[in-house]
Amino acid sequence: MKILIVASEAIPFVKTGGLADVMGTLIREIRNLKVDARLALPLYRGIKDRFDLNDTGHEITVPVGNKNYTAKIFSYKDSVFFIECNEFFDREELYGTSEGDYPDNAHRFIFFSRAVLEACDALGFKPDVLHCNDWQTGLIPLYVKSIYKKSFSKTATVMTIHNLGYQGIFPASAMLLTGLDMELFTPKTIEFYGQINLLKAGITTADFVTTVSTNYAKEILSEQYGFGLDGVLRHRAHDITGIINGIDYKEWNPAEDDLIPAKFDVRDITGKAKCKSYLVKECSFKNRKAPLVGMVGRLSSQKGIDIFMGVIDRIFSYGVNVIILGKGEEAIHKELRGIAKKYPDCLSLNIGYDETFAHRVYAGSDMLLIPSKYEPCGLTQMIAMRYGTVPVARATGGIADTVEDYNHLSGKGTGFLFTEYSSSALEECLKRAICVYTDETKWKKIVINCMRQRFSWEKSAKEYVALYRKLVRKVTG
């Protein structure tokens, strides 16, 4: 069985968020199961300088609209293919700057989706399963069922939704770029309120749809979480399942992490206190004993920054220190900068993307605050738990699947959860956590509970492989 996973980002090559972690680790884990899985990515700026790529010598011609683009195919260790087209991918960022998305994103990812299929032809690699991820690759299942039907008649397609909030919606005129028959511009396929929707194309035409947690698979069928696609998803409810992401236990391991000032594990957590002292000093917090609350993630409205900002003054009245590490929307950066000026002694604002610092924040914080409006799976709560940092989070999507709310009677639980999306619910939850924090014995028990959790990839990779096998059987009859 040959699998081709297609994505717009993957570690170790390029990363803007959780998708990259998931793609990079999933491919490794599936290959560990002795399945021939390969990955296709755009060749972004800088990858060639950092990795020893092999020029396959193959050149493909990819029509987008009325123009033909030439692309070169590079490979890395025979398991990753890169599509090189500098006009589209030799840029500072992946999808856009803090001012907004690149205006030619429709061009870029229509090109990429088609180029992947052309590349398969050129390389003579006919996958049994094409596993597509998020809107950037949503056209592939539709291409497989239309323009490329002949060459991929025995290929099954899987569409994985990592985040329904991003759908790749473009003006109807972009339909001309796809080269698809205008008859396909219908609500059953790609049309979405007069525009085209690339993720919808994937959802409606893939043989199977997955998302990244069981709970999110249910949530997206509702109007509240469906982003306008809940009707389409309900229609395919029998072909949708949730497979939870894992984290990379080699990368995120406090016992062997060279990026943190002191190592520790579940048998001896003294190193964690040293990590905290280091972090407190690094951030110049005045009160060195205060509970330390970390936040790591994209600064977008999805992450619940608004309900956090709505209660910021009250949060600081509880005498906590807060570290924020994130990058995202310029308006949020601006607002946070204003707040940081007001609280120089207890708020450390770090706008930017910094992997090394992220390790220190996960290791040194007491709690990780995740007030997300929605969270398909969420990796930060799992990473935090690995480092004995207790999630204080909204029970949504994968968070509800991976964090167990603390029960003060039984002492069971791995975090503090709230349900209502509001500043007051967040405040109550954080207050509850701070209250338990003052009891050293109880707190240590939660920390240990967290560190004992296992969110490894092995089980999930096996679930993907089982799904691939089922689909291959279906397609080949």
> Near ligand ADP by CB under 6 A, which window of 262-270, 285-293, 352-360, 419-427?
352-360
Buried residues in 7-41 as b, exposed as e (16+ CB within 10 A): bbbbbebbbebbbbbbbbbbbbbbbeeebebbbbb
Q: Are 63 and 148 in contact (CB under 8 A)?
A: no
Helix (H) or strand (E) holding 446: helix 440-451
Residues 6+ apart with CB under 8 A from 453: 382, 385, 386, 402, 414
CA distance from start to end of the chain: 15
Question: Is 29 in contact with 247 (CB distance < 8 Å)?
Answer: no
Q: Show the site string, 381-420: x = touches ligand ADP by CB under 6 A, - = not.
A: --x-------------------------------------
Shortest separation between residue 382's beta carbon and ligand ADP, angstroms: 8
**CB of 299 vs ligand ADP, minimal distance in Å:** 8
Which 315-334 residues touch ligand ADP, going by CB under 6 A?
A: 325-327
- Residues 273-312 binding ligand ADP (CB under 6 A) are 296-298
Nearer to ligand ADP, 184 or 383 (CB): 383
Residue from 209, 307, 379, 467 touching ligand ADP (CB under 6 A): that is 379
Supply the minimum distance, in Å, between the C-beta of residue 36 and ligand ADP: 27
CA distance 44 to 36: 25
Nearest in space to 247 (alpha carbons), one of 7, 473, 16, 21: 21
Min separation Cβ 14 and ligand ADP, Å: 13
Q: How far is the CB of 391 from ligand ADP (least distance, A)?
A: 11
262: nearest Cα among 353, 387, 350, 441? 387
| Of the candidate residues 4, 13, 14, 18, the single one contacting ligand ADP (CB under 6 A) | 18
Indicate which single residue of 136, 380, 389, 396 sits in contact with ligand ADP (rule: CB under 6 A): 380
Query: Cα–Cα distance between 468 and 1 in angstroms, integer?
Result: 9
4 membership: H or E segment, kind and range = strand 2-6
- Beta-bridged to residue 325, according to DSSP, are 296, 350
Q: Which residue is nearest to ligand ADP (CB)?
A: 18
Residue 318 or 353 having the CB closest to ligand ADP:
353
How many residues of this chain bind ligand ADP (CB under 6 A)? 19
Please report how close the Cβ of residue 355 comes to ligand ADP at its closest, in angstroms. 5
Task: Check binding of 358 to ligand ADP (CB under 6 A).
Answer: yes
Q: By C-beta, is 232 or 325 nearer to ligand ADP?
A: 325
Q: How far is the CB of 144 from ligand ADP (least distance, A)?
A: 26
- Give the 3-state DSSP-derived string for 39-83, with helices as H, strands as E and coil as C: EEEECCCCHHHHCCCEEEEEEEEEEECCEEEEEEEEEECCCEEEE
21 versus 219: smaller Cβ distance to ligand ADP: 21
Q: Check if the beta carbon of residue 322 is closer than 8 Å to that of residue 298.
A: no
Which residue from 353, 405, 463, 469 is in contact with ligand ADP, where contact means CB under 6 A?
353
Please provide the size of the chain in residues: 477
Minimum distance of ligand ADP from residue 309's CB (angstroms):
18
Nearest residue to 411 (alpha-carbon basis) of 387, 380, 447: 447
Binding site for ligand ADP (CB under 6 A): 17-19, 21, 296-298, 325-327, 353-355, 358, 377-380, 383
